[in-house]
Amino acid sequence: MAITSHLNRILFPIDFSNRCIATARRVRVIAERFDSEVFLLHVVAPLRADCAAFDLTALIPECAAALTSRARGELDGFLAAEFEHLRVRRILAEGDPADAIVQHAQALGADLIMMPTRGLGVYRRYVIGSVTAKVLHDANTPVWTGIHDRTAPPFSTTFRRILCAVDLGPHSVQVLEWASAFAGRLDASVTLLHVTADLRSIPGREFDESWHSSLVNWVRDELEKLQDSVKARCDIHVAMGDAVKGIVHTAGELKRDLLVIGRSPHEGTVGRLRAQAYAVIGQSPCPVASV
């Protein structure tokens, strides 16, 4: 996964919904600061399965042409005022939406995919939409996802305080590089976070308090080494306990504008999205950039 300090190309999948309009404000802010070219991608899903179920196969070409024509008209005018001063290309594709997003991100050399927020209620907000989940699994491009709780207060379009959560594995270097480069262009501060196990909470085990202090000091040292290795300037924060809860809680407590986390850089049957990353994205109180 290439890390760049300049987001030359942003891929923004759209479905003409209100959530796209809300996300567009953030796309615009980032595109302005990075002088990015924005690709608006709308994908028309094929009709074959639905038509076949009702024995309407003969109507597929006519219906598909009508839908494509309508989509082209909507696409040409969508967000025209919001993006009038930006470099914008509008792309209409057909097929599976997630597959099309991943393929276009690769073909266009996109530096960031910005997915609209799902905007679900208090219980369903933990469920990432199937299209977003598949993009997160398959894309080798950093992916931006919005807040999944529609009851959350309106979110600012300024990004001055960034939380970068790392697991101290090899991929942490790339995650911090991306967060630091992004922050640098936006004059933002970065807090570097690692959540480690709380030895004191293990049932049936007693640990000397000095062990706890030693672990915290070791984690802090590792975070400082990581910071130095990428020449970043960060506040260091160490939390104890469950990783997902710790990351989500810290993002809310510190009132961060953006959370940057890592996705697995390895492809395979489980894709690129780690289980913890999936949970963090669904519960985060602020947008998440997963690298």
Tens-digit pLDDT profile for residues 192-204: 999 998 766 655 5
Checking if the pLDDT of 153 tops 60, the result is no
Q: What angle do CA 211, 259, 224 make, to 5 degrees?
A: 40
Q: How many CB atoms within 10 Å of residue 132?
A: 24
pTM, full prediction:
0.85
The verdict on 243 and 277 lying in the same domain is yes
The verdict on 206 and 182 lying in the same domain is yes
CA distance 283 to 125: 7
The verdict on 132 and 41 lying in the same domain is yes
CA distance 282 to 153: 16
Q: What pLDDT score does 254 carry? A: 95
CA distance 24 to 196: 36
Give the three-state DSSP class for 184: helix
**Cα end-to-end span (Å), the chain:** 8
- Mean pLDDT, residues 232-241: 94
- Give how many domains the chain has, as a whole number: 2
CA distance 146 to 270: 23
Distance of alpha carbon 30 from its chain centroid, rounded? Answer: 14
The verdict on 3 and 130 lying in the same domain is yes
Share of the chain above pLDDT 90, in %: 55
The verdict on 125 and 162 lying in the same domain is no
Which domain range does residue 188 map to? 158-291
Q: What pLDDT score does 121 carry? A: 42
pLDDT category, 107, cuts 50, 70, 90? Answer: very high
Question: Considering only CA atoms, which of 111, 109, 80 is closest in space to residue 14?
Answer: 80
The verdict on 182 and 244 lying in the same domain is yes
* Of 32-36, 76-80, 143-147, 271-275, the least confident: 271-275
In whole angstroms, how far apart are CA 104 and each of 109, 114, 287?
8, 13, 23
Checking if the pLDDT of 8 tops 80, the result is yes
The verdict on 162 and 102 lying in the same domain is no
The verdict on 119 and 230 lying in the same domain is no
| Burial (CB count within 10 angstroms: exposed 0-12, middle 13-18, buried 19+), residue 52 | exposed
Last residue of a domain, one of 93, 117, 147: 147
Q: What pLDDT score does 191 carry? A: 98
Checking if the pLDDT of 18 tops 60, the result is yes
Helices (H), 171-233: 172-186, 209-229
**65: CB partners within 8 A, 6+ apart:** none
Q: What pLDDT score does 61 carry? A: 60
The verdict on 142 and 221 lying in the same domain is no
- Mean pLDDT, residues 39-65: 65
CA distance 74 to 94: 15
Average pLDDT value for the chain: 83
Q: What pLDDT score does 284 carry? A: 92
CATH assignment at residue 56: 3.40.50.620
- Mean pLDDT, residues 204-215: 71
Tokens representing residue 25 in the block: 């404000």
Q: What pLDDT score does 276 carry? A: 83
pLDDT category, 209, cuts 50, 70, 90? Answer: low
Buried b (16+ CB within 10 A) or exposed e, 223-233: beebbeebebe
pLDDT category, 175, cuts 50, 70, 90? Answer: very high
Checking if the pLDDT of 167 tops 60, the result is yes
Contact 250, 237 (CB under 8 A): yes
The verdict on 4 and 139 lying in the same domain is yes
**61: CB partners within 8 A, 6+ apart:** none
- Tell me the angle at which helices 275-283 and 130-138 cross, rounded to the nearest 10 degrees: 140
Tokens representing residue 81 in the block: 């005022």
Q: What pLDDT score does 198 carry? A: 77
Identity of residue 208: D
Q: What pLDDT score does 106 carry? A: 97
- Mean pLDDT, residues 236-261: 95
What is the 8-class DSSP label of residue 100? H
Q: What pLDDT score does 2 carry? A: 46
Please report whether residue 153 resides in a domain.
no
The verdict on 1 and 133 lying in the same domain is yes
Q: What pLDDT score does 208 carry? A: 65
